[in-house]
């Protein structure tokens, strides 16, 4: 596109060297799957809402945010890899599609004055192509902050006890912690030295109990063949019994805007699933939010991975399906197993090309990244993006199947296998050939790679 501006949600932005949003990505911003109470993503969102009724909800915030909100407000250093334009979708250098719901944390604290809130939203990241990766997915951010009064008047201990009682009744969660997490007292941020260490420990305890409560809430909604009740009231779920206790594992994590930070995994059907990142919010952010005397926690849940396992959804593209054979299988408030309809046959195509030649000798450089950078101006996500833009949801998987170095020239060659398949019809070899030809042409012209 040669125009000097780009229009997003009726607003014009100047294009620059960072602009990389595409029409099909922008089209996704209209879908808002998490707002549909009968869609698996909406079902999970509403179950979480139901169990935290006093949390304010923000679920229609625009995905177009400033890079300041998405990164700087969260204390991302200028060279953080998440900022790369190979990983994020930029409208231009200062405006982007949010890459996580954390982008709204400071804004909601500061502009809305909320101290307990959720942000449920679509988030955008350039990524590889397979059954569990899609450039748009959904997160729910949960934030809770406590005033000095709440920290001292027993609010936290009371809430912890209430949530724990629910957890014990369902018998669903069992927490295990890595020794590194279990045996270490919470690390204090410099600003926290004025706060009592005991307060930080209490907020951390509140975070842990809240997450176990959240897991118990979700897993108690799994519909069992034996029980026909599908009531969406939260009291009904307290009597549901999970087939086995769900193990929740805490692992030390690292996020710029929380200290300490954790990643949480849930063991379900023998498999550890990463479900969220969380931690104690950096004091600098609370200050920006106008509540520097508070202590608080934040958590960001990814919805798709969990929904795929809970609802038995084999391919992440299905969430975007408008086929009634998909949509009609779900009801509000109920987690049931999706029964896949017949899979249509795939169509496989390979594409091989030479990576760019190293531009200058790297032996004398001191930069550890220089060899890789000088040797390959090729970024895999640029290739992935190009295939997605052309094939849309007809592409199921793209994998590097072969790579070799030319013995004389030292040049690298990559061969990728592209699996094309439709979710709802048979594709013909002829139509896929047209797509594959277009991929080849644009790999050569747009990415400047030599086809083999
Ligand atoms: N925003 C982080 C991510 O998307 C998750 C997170 C949210 C971590 C809140 C800590 C606190 O990876």
254-312 tens-digit pLDDT: 999 999 999 999 888 788 888 999 999 999 999 999 999 999 999 999 999 999 999 99
144 sits in which H/E element = strand 136-146
> Which burial class, exposed, middle or buried, applies to 190 when counting CB atoms under 10 A from its CB (0-12, 13-18, 19+)?
exposed
In the reported structure, the alpha carbon of residue 300 is separated from the centroid of ligand 1 by a whole-number distance in angstroms of 5
User: ipTM higher than 0.95?
Assistant: yes
What's the CA dihedral at 227, 229, 230, 235 to 10 degrees? Answer: -110
In the reported structure, the alpha carbon of residue 16 is separated from the centroid of ligand 1 by a whole-number distance in angstroms of 28
Summarize the confidence of residues 77-81 as an average pLDDT.
95
Residue 121 DSSP SS3: strand
Q: How far apart are CA 435 and CA 423, in angstroms?
A: 17
In the reported structure, the alpha carbon of residue 367 is separated from the centroid of ligand 1 by a whole-number distance in angstroms of 30
Whether pLDDT at 369 is above 50:
no
In the reported structure, the alpha carbon of residue 75 is separated from the centroid of ligand 1 by a whole-number distance in angstroms of 12
**What's the first-to-final CA gap in the chain, in angstroms?**
27
Whether pLDDT at 221 is above 90:
no
Best CA proximity match to 116, nearest among 161, 66, 71, 53? 53
Higher pLDDT, 184 or 258: 258
pLDDT, one tens digit per residue, over 86-122 is 999 999 999 999 999 999 999 999 999 999 999 999 9
Q: How far apart are CA 400 and CA 410, in angstroms?
A: 19
Whether pLDDT at 183 is above 80:
no
Whether pLDDT at 60 is above 80:
yes
Could you tell me if 289 and 110 are in contact, meaning their C-beta atoms sit under 8 angstroms apart? yes
Whether pLDDT at 217 is above 60:
yes
Bond from prior residue into 260 cis (ω within 30 degrees of 0): yes
* CA-281 nearest atom, ligand 1: 11
Is 278's C-beta closer than 6 angstroms to any atom of ligand 1? yes
pLDDT, one tens digit per residue, over 9-24 is 889 999 999 999 999 9
> What pLDDT, on the 0 to 100 scale, is given for residue 225?
56
Summarize the confidence of residues 127-133 as an average pLDDT.
92
Percent of the chain residues past pLDDT 90, beyond the cut: 75
Write the CB contacts of 131 (distance below 8 Å, at least 6 apart in sequence). 314, 315, 316, 396, 397
Contacts 24+ apart (CB under 8 A), 406-410: 409/357, 410/358
Is 102's C-beta closer than 6 angstroms to any atom of ligand 1? yes
Whether pLDDT at 181 is above 50:
yes
Q: How far is CA 186 from the centre of its chain?
A: 26
The overall average pLDDT reported for the chain is: 89
Whether pLDDT at 71 is above 90:
yes
Is 259's C-beta closer than 6 angstroms to any atom of ligand 1? no
- Which of 143-147, 152-156, 169-173, 429-433 is least confident? 169-173
């Amino acid at each position: 596109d040669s125009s000097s501006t780009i229009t997003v949600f009726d607003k014009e932005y100047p294009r620059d060297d960072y602009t990389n949003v595409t029409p099909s990505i922008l089209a996704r911003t209209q879908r808002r799957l998490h707002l549909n109470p009968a869609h698996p993503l909406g079902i999970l969102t509403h179950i979480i809402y139901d169990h935290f009724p006093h949390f304010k909800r923000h679920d229609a915030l625009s995905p177009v945010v400033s890079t300041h909100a998405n990164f700087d407000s969260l204390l991302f250093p200028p060279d953080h890899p998440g900022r790369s334009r190979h990983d994020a979708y930029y409208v231009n250098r200062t405006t982007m599609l949010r890459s996580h719901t954390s982008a709204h944390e400071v804004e909601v604290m500061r502009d809305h004055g909320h101290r307990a809130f959720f942000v449920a939203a679509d988030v955008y990241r350039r990524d590889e192509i397979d059954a569990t990766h899609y450039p748009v997915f959904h997160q729910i951010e949960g934030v809770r902050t406590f005033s000095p009064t709440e920290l001292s008047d027993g609010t936290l201990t009371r809430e912890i006890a209430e949530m724990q009682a629910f957890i014990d009744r369902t018998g669903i969660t069992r927490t295990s912690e890595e020794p590194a997490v279990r045996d270490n007292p919470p690390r204090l941020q410099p600003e926290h030295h004025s706060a009592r260490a005991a307060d930080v420990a209490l907020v951390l305890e509140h975070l842990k109990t809240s997450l176990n409560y959240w897991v118990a809430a979700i897993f108690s909604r799994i519909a069992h063949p034996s029980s026909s009740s599908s009531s969406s009231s939260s009291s009904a779920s307290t009597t549901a019994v999970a087939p086995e206790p769900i193990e929740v594992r805490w692992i030390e994590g690292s996020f710029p805007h929380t200290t300490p930070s954790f990643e949480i995994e849930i063991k379900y059907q023998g498999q550890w699933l990463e479900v969220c990142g969380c931690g104690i919010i950096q004091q600098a952010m609370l200050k920006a939010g106008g509540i520097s005397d508070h202590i608080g926690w934040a958590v960001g849940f990814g919805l798709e991975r969990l929904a795929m396992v809970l609802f038995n959804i084999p391919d992440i593209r299905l969430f975007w399906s408008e086929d009634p054979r998909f949509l009609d299988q779900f009801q509000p408030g109920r987690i049931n197993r999706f029964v896949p309809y017949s899979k249509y046959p795939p169509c496989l195509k390979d594409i091989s090309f030479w990576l760019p030649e190293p531009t200058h000798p790297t032996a004398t450089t001191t930069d550890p990244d220089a060899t890789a950078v000088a040797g390959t101006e090729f970024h895999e996500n640029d290739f992935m993006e190009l295939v997605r833009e052309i094939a849309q949801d007809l592409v199921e998987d793209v994998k590097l199947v072969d790579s070799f170095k030319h013995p004389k020239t030292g040049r690298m060659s990559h061969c990728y296998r592209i699996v094309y398949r439709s979710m709802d019809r048979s594709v013909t070899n002829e139509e896929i050939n047209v797509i594959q030809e277009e991929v080849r042409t644009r790999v050569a012209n747009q990415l400047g790679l030599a086809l083999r």
